[in-house]
Structures are given as C-alpha cells and as structure tokens.
C-alpha cells in the first residue's frame, strides 16, 4: 500500500517536475526519500538550483546517510533481540493494554500452542488458562518498575506429548501511565520441582528404612537388658536378630552411599576398554552357591561373542550391575526354577539378558521398580534382605555406561532384565583387554 502511494507521489512529482520551476530537483529529492524508505543506501544529490531548494538538497545530502545508518542500526538491534528472545528457553509474551498479543517468542509458541497468526489476538482467546490470564491482569495492576511473581500449573494439552507444567512467572508492566503493556516471562520449573520432591521423598523414605531396623535393634537390646540377659537361649536368639538387623542397616547404608556417589558426579568409576564375558562369567560363578542353596539352576551362555565383546566400562560398575540383577533373579525365584544369563552382540551393541522363572512383576509396577525404595512386595523384599535400592543403582550405572536397561515380565511366569551396552570402538580396544576379576 505504502509502495503504491509512493509510486503515485513519484508520478505526480515527475509531472510537476516538468511544469514547476526546480521541478527536477524536487523529483530527485522524492526519489532519494523513497530510496531511503525502502532501506537502500542514499546517493548524494546534485543541486541543480541555488536558494531554498539548494539548501534543501544540501540538508538532504547531510542527513540522509545518518538516517540510513540509524535505521540500519535499529534493524540490527531488532534482529539481535529477535534472535536472543528466540533462543531463550523461557517463554516470553508481550501484551498491549487491550490484552492483545504483541509478541511471543518460539518457546512461548511451543508452550501455549501459538502461531504467527496469534499476534494481535486477545490473550483469553489464545491461552485458555485462567491462571495465565490472572497473571496478565495482576501484572497490569502493579506499577512499573515493580514485577509480579507467581508460580502456576498449566494443564497439559495432551497427557502424553505435553503433560501439565509448573511455571514460575515474572510479569513486568511496560513504562507508561496506565501501563503501556506488559511483558510476562514463563520459566518452566517442573523438572526442578520434581527433583525437589524426589529428594524430599528420598529423605523421608531413607529415614523410614533406617528407623525400622534401628527400632528392632533397640527393642531386642532393651528386652535383653530388662529380663532376658540371664537366659542363654534368649541371649543367642536376640543377638542373632540384632546381628540380622545390623546387616540390614549395613546393606542400606552401603546402597545409599553407592547412589550418593553416583549422583555426586565424582569420577569414582574409570571407564576403560573392558572384556565383558570374563567379568560376567565370574559374576555368575559367585552366585552359584546361593543358587544351589535355593535349588535353582543357574546357567551362563556367552552367545559366542567372547573374543570381541569389549565395552568401555569400569569393571566394578559392571560387577555391581550384574550382581544386583542375578541376586534379584535368585531372590525372587522359588525352588526348582531357572536363572539364565545370556549374551548376544550386534556390531554396535552387546546385550545381556538375565532371565528367571520366578514370581514375576505385575505390569503396573514394571515402570516403577527402578525408583528408589520401590518394591512390589515390601515384606517379601525385606525378608529376603533387599534394600529397594538395587535397581535404582543398576539404572544409574547402566546409563553412566551410555546403555539401557529394560524389563519384561509376567507374574507367575518370570522376569527378564535386558541390559544393552555400546561396544567400545575397535580403535579403543587395548592389546590385551582381559582384566581378571
């Protein structure tokens, strides 16, 4: 539209140029201004006349390059701002006093499902969250330069692909009397809050887990001191219980320390090229006595991958992973069952399956057993000396080796834990990769 108007002006000036004195100079000036408006670098004009028109040309020659430079600088600033806002993880919305959207960055588009057509439309139409609308209104009620802060929950648009989010909002009114608008920045704190909750749950669970054996130890010791000290049979029985509970405490504290060490990011484990099969076969053998005591068959199948099954891993980490998985398989498999550890390999991965014919895990629990202290059957786990932390440690260790662990199971039929580990690239394999365990 502006371009058409400018063109018409140009035609009129061209006609005037033929009829009015100094018309050609006016024509040059008009062309120069249009060039400037189009964002093209201005050219210097030659004054065809002296007097007022000549002064006008001189003023144009002096100011046009400066105006051009300023426009260029403004454009560059605007582009820079657009890139910065676009790269921000936080969602940014700018709203005018009539509650129309002035601007939304890419994160805001993704969070609120906006698109370029959303600009200019009313916020309540675009974002159907009373809490977001409330934050916009509250921002308009406060005076610049104060800021409005609130934490709100944005319901998910789709439970799987976009679950509900917890957002920390900072709303700033734009300077101006009534104010001239508002800018709202939304910081997604869902993950932060989830981690905080996990930490709180961990402290609560850990205290509870430690309290139970401690309470038992205290009760047995008090009973002994109160009346059973003279009874040798009671003495032995109670001291055995105290010993059992102390073992439980010891296992708990050791597992908690393992987890803490894994999480504190200390380079405790040193991942080096490691031949997996000898470590696995030693690990299976260390459980043979326990399997035999439980009347279970325990087998190991190296899948014929012995020669080149090298992974980049710390041997102690690998031992801990399979110690936990084989221990669980034996613990949760009744007499007469089978536990089988089997390997297979592709050019990029080594897969180890720990399969048992035990009690199995109900479907609804399968995604949760890797959480700390989660047990399908608390009483059974405790009775078997479990801490509820073994699989949490396994998951952590496997992911520190860039691998994955999965479970498939049918209650009553058994469980299979599958660990996939990336092979060390051939160039990393040492000349003599076998380290004895």
Residues that bind ligand ADP (CB under 6 A): 324, 328-329, 332, 356, 358-361, 369, 374-377, 381, 386-392, 415
Least distance CB 349 / ligand ADP (angstroms) = 22
Least distance CB 115 / ligand ADP (angstroms) = 45
Q: Which is nearer to ligand ADP, 57 or 376 (CB)?
A: 376
Q: What residue is closest to ligand ADP based on CB?
A: 386
Residues 6 or more apart whose CB falls under 8 angstroms from that of 311 comprise 273, 274, 276, 318, 350, 401, 421, 422, 423, 424
**What would the two tokens of residue 59 be?**
């003023």
Q: Which is nearer to ligand ADP, 107 or 324 (CB)?
A: 324
Q: Which is nearer to ligand ADP, 123 or 280 (CB)?
A: 280
**What would the two tokens of residue 79 be?**
């582009």
CB-based burial, 213-232: b 16+ in 10 Å, e otherwise: beebbeebeeebeeebeeee
Least distance CB 367 / ligand ADP (angstroms) = 11
Please list the helix, strand and coil fractions of the chain in percent, rounded to the nearest 5, in that order: 50, 20, 30
Is the preceding omega at residue 156 within 30 degrees of 0, hence cis? no
Least distance CB 417 / ligand ADP (angstroms) = 7
Least distance CB 105 / ligand ADP (angstroms) = 43
Q: Which is nearer to ligand ADP, 275 or 376 (CB)?
A: 376
Q: Which is nearer to ligand ADP, 128 or 380 (CB)?
A: 380
135/124 Cα distance (integer angstroms):
12
Say if strands 414-422 and 404-410 run parallel, antiparallel, or are unpaired: antiparallel
**What would the two tokens of residue 51 be?**
């007097």
Least distance CB 332 / ligand ADP (angstroms) = 3
Say if strands 101-104 and 148-154 run parallel, antiparallel, or are unpaired: unpaired
Is residue 158 classed as helix, strand or coil in its secondary structure? strand
Residue bearing tokens 């993704």: 110
Least distance CB 321 / ligand ADP (angstroms) = 11
Measured CA distances, 351 to 116, 119, 310, 405 (Å): 47, 52, 12, 10
Number of neighbouring beta carbons within 10 Å of residue 172: 19
Is residue 98 classed as helix, strand or coil in its secondary structure? coil
Q: Which is nearer to ligand ADP, 296 or 376 (CB)?
A: 376
293/339 Cα distance (integer angstroms):
13
Least distance CB 356 / ligand ADP (angstroms) = 5
Q: Which is nearer to ligand ADP, 99 or 248 (CB)?
A: 248
Q: What is the DSSP letter of 162?
A: B
Measured CA distances, 406 to 284, 324, 368 (Å): 20, 14, 11
Least distance CB 122 / ligand ADP (angstroms) = 51
303/277 Cα distance (integer angstroms):
10
Q: Which is nearer to ligand ADP, 188 or 377 (CB)?
A: 377
Q: Which is nearer to ligand ADP, 25 or 357 (CB)?
A: 357
396/398 Cα distance (integer angstroms):
6
């Amino acid at each position: 539209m502006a371009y058409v108007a400018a063109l018409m002006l140009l035609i009129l000036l061209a006609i005037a140029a033929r009829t009015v004195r100094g018309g050609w100079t006016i024509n040059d000036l008009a062309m120069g201004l249009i060039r400037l408006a189009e964002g093209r670098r201005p050219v210097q004009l030659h004054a065809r006349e002296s007097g007022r028109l000549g002064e006008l040309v001189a003023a144009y020659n002096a100011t046009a390059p400066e105006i051009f430079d300023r426009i260029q600088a403004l454009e560059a600033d605007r582009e820079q701002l657009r890139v910065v806002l676009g790269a921000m993880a936080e969602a940014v919305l700018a709203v005018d006093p009539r509650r129309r959207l002035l601007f939304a960055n890419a994160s805001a588009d993704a969070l609120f499902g906006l698109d370029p057509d959303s600009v200019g439309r009313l916020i309540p139409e675009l974002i159907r969250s009373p809490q977001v609308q409330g934050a916009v209104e509250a921002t308009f009620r406060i005076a610049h330069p104060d800021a409005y802060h609130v934490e709100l929950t944005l319901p998910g648009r789709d439970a799987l692909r976009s679950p509900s989010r917890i957002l920390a909002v900072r709303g700033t009114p734009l300077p101006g009397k009534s104010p001239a608008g508002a800018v709202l920045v939304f910081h997604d704190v869902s993950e932060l809050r989830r981690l905080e909750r996990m930490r709180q749950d961990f402290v609560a669970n850990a205290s509870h887990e430690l309290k139970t054996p401690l309470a038992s130890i205290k009760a047995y010791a008090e009973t002994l001191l109160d009346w059973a000290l003279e009874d040798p049979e009671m003495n032995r029985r109670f001291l055995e219980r105290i010993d059992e509970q102390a073992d439980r405490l010891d296992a708990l504290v050791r597992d908690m320390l393992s987890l803490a060490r894994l999480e504190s990011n200390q380079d405790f484990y040193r991942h080096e090229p490691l031949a997996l099969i000898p470590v696995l076969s030693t690990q299976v053998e260390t459980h043979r006595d326990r399997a035999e005591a439980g009347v279970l068959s325990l087998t190991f199948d190296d899948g014929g991958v012995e020669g080149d099954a090298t992974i980049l891993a710390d041997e102690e980490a690998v031992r801990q992973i399979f110690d936990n998985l084989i221990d669980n398989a034996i613990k949760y498999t009744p007499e007469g069952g089978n536990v089988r550890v089997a390997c297979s390999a592709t050019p990029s991965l080594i897969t180890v399956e720990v399969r048992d014919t035990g009690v199995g895990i109900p479907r609804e629990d399968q995604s949760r057993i890797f959480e700390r202290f989660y047990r399908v059957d608390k009483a059974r786990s405790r009775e078997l000396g479990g801490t509820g932390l073994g699989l949490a440690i396994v998951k952590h260790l496997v992911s520190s080796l860039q691998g994955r662990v999965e479970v498939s199971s049918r209650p009553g039929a058994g469980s299979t834990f599958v660990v996939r580990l990336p092979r060390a690239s051939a160039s990393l394999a040492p000349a003599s990769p076998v380290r004895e365990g």
